[in-house]
Amino acid sequence: QNSLVLSAAIFITLIGLIIYLHFVKIDQESLLVIGSLGIQVTSSYASGKESTTFIEMSRVKDVVINEAIHMQKVIYYLCILLQDPGDPQGISEVVPLFQSSKPRLDCLIEVYKSCQEILEQKKTAPQSS
């Protein structure tokens, strides 16, 4: 009887660990910005699974560093602001990046500067009809 309970507990723990590694534990996050196409955000999980999101450049209004206060600490994170289709001056959605890795501010500034360079090139490039 006790060994059956212990075996069930071990089995449930293993299943929980597998689910955690496959769906929750993110090992690596990457950002690929291509001015003429868009922004690709990829998350690699501990199990090897990858999740990729693509945002068309026409939807991107700006990339900003945002700050939040959490447990008496200021946390900085990179966000993509998506343009509201109904209002060109409005923002329809804020997409936070690097939620799991939480890079330091100096790293975020480097990524921010690179993104801004690409966005600036997109704005100054001649628009094709």
**Nearest-angstrom CA–CA distance, 55 and 64:** 15
The whole domain housing 88 covers 1-124
**Total domain count, the chain:** 1
Cα 105-109-113 angle, rounded to 5 deg: 170
Return the pLDDT at 126: 60
The model carries a pTM of 0.74
Residue 100 in any domain: the answer is yes
Q: 8 CB contacts (<8 Å, ≥6 apart)?
A: none
Residue 129 in any domain: the answer is no
Instruction: Kindly give the confidence (pLDDT) of every residue in the chain, 129 residues in length, as a single tens digit, with 9 standing for 90 and above.
Output: 788 889 999 999 999 988 887 777 888 999 999 988 999 999 998 888 899 999 999 899 999 999 989 889 999 999 999 998 888 788 899 999 998 888 999 999 999 999 999 988 877 766 554
**Nearest-angstrom CA–CA distance, 102 and 83:** 25
Residue 20 in any domain: the answer is yes
